[in-house]
Structure 1
């Protein structure tokens, strides 16, 4: 899919957005912040980048002015609230949505998902260990309507959202072994994961590879 037709969206928010007093998105990793690393990767296939956060102030001095910073229409509703805002305000028909605590998001993985889209599905989502990974999926921006319906009814679970749209799951366990993709599903839940992420990046760089 051409970059002119896809928006990249990073969800930053919720009570789990910080770690040891620092927003996860602003943690240093490989000489840049985590979110800067994500944006650089997403720009490989995305012409537009959106950051969804209800605490925008810390990002004004970090992010390029071309990055759109938006807030939730449905605050306090977790990832689905952020997904709705991104889908509703995206300027492109397809939206690659990820979370701020995923340091190794992969443009190649997103490209493969996008290439698997059919006219019959609203989203294409990677399957990791036979489970969907909604926060590295490609969504039709019209999914905003389904998200709004659920949020208006007080339902904010991602499982409910997936049950409300037609989506295609793509087995992706083997992708992590490919240098062109890497461990795109890796998520920083706490300090131990953060230290592991730094080590993974250090090891890959020292061997001349590139952890995407």
Structure 2
């Protein structure tokens, strides 16, 4: 079973508080695009909110489960932690709601790269990670958060047996690396909608 999490719990401070999952790309919201793409290659899909109140503001989709952070106020780590407790699959994919160009081809590649590891995380030449376009092993994440109070994503990645996947390898599947495009503000949004 392949599980995916879409993290929608951020406060979108760079977008003036406007929910980024409602940004429009083409004729669909980011969230609609993500759900459509992930539904094509995942067995189970969770939308992870920061709390119960936020869940009321998220559009409803069929065959999608809505959960919220176990520990609120911990950023993306809170969403990943919660997802690890709900995921039915041994491995799960994580994305942020501001990444409109998900690719099943890349995601399936990351699932394959995670086999035998606790995570498969893309990494750029300068050493920067893409922790919100990555695959994690459910039990390893649960164990990490049971034994560590460090909520930095870098601590999670370094605390696991991680397969660091070069972006050069991903470029062979996604030549422009669109899968890593994230849109944090209205200026960036205007550039992708030209």
Given the two structures, how large is their TM-score scaled by the length of structure 2?
Answer: 0.88
CA offsets per residue over residues 133-161 of structure 1, 9 Å max, x none? 111111111112213433xx3x2111111
Pairs aligned (count): 189
Structure 1 residues 66 and 181 mapped into 2: Cα distance closer, same or farther (>3 Å)?
farther
Is 1:70 aligned to 2:61, yes or no? no
Is 1:149 aligned to 2:147, yes or no? yes
Shift of 1:184: 0.6
Unaligned runs of 5+ in 2: none
- The root-mean-square deviation of aligned C-alpha atoms, in Å, is 2.0
Q: Is the 8 A contact 2:11 2:19 kept in 1?
A: no
Q: Is the 8 A contact 1:94 1:138 kept in 2?
A: yes
Q: Is the 8 A contact 2:119 2:157 kept in 1?
A: no
Shift of 1:26: 1.3
Shift of 1:179: 5.5
User: Runs (4+) of structure 1 moved beyond 4 Å?
Assistant: 176-182
Aligned to 1:165: 160
SS of equivalent to 2:178 = coil
Q: Is the 8 A contact 2:14 2:185 kept in 1?
A: no
Distance 1:101 1:17 in 2: 13
Is 1:88 aligned to 2:85, yes or no? yes
Shift of 1:131: 2.1
Distance 1:18 1:148 in 2: 32
CA offsets per residue over residues 81-139 of structure 1, 9 Å max, x none? 100001110111110001011111221111111122332x1011112344221111111
Aligned to 1:8: 4
Distance 2:169 2:124 in 1: 9
Q: Is the 8 A contact 2:47 2:64 kept in 1?
A: yes
Structure 1 residues 145 and 178 mapped into 2: Cα distance closer, same or farther (>3 Å)?
closer
Aligned to 1:184: 179
Aligned to 1:101: 98
SS of equivalent to 1:168 = strand
Is 1:57 aligned to 2:56, yes or no? yes
Shift of 1:191: 1.2
Structure 1 residues 40 and 162 mapped into 2: Cα distance closer, same or farther (>3 Å)?
same
Structure 1 residues 73 and 45 mapped into 2: Cα distance closer, same or farther (>3 Å)?
same
Aligned to 2:193: 198
Given the two structures, how large is their TM-score scaled by the length of structure 1?
Answer: 0.81
SS of equivalent to 1:133 = coil
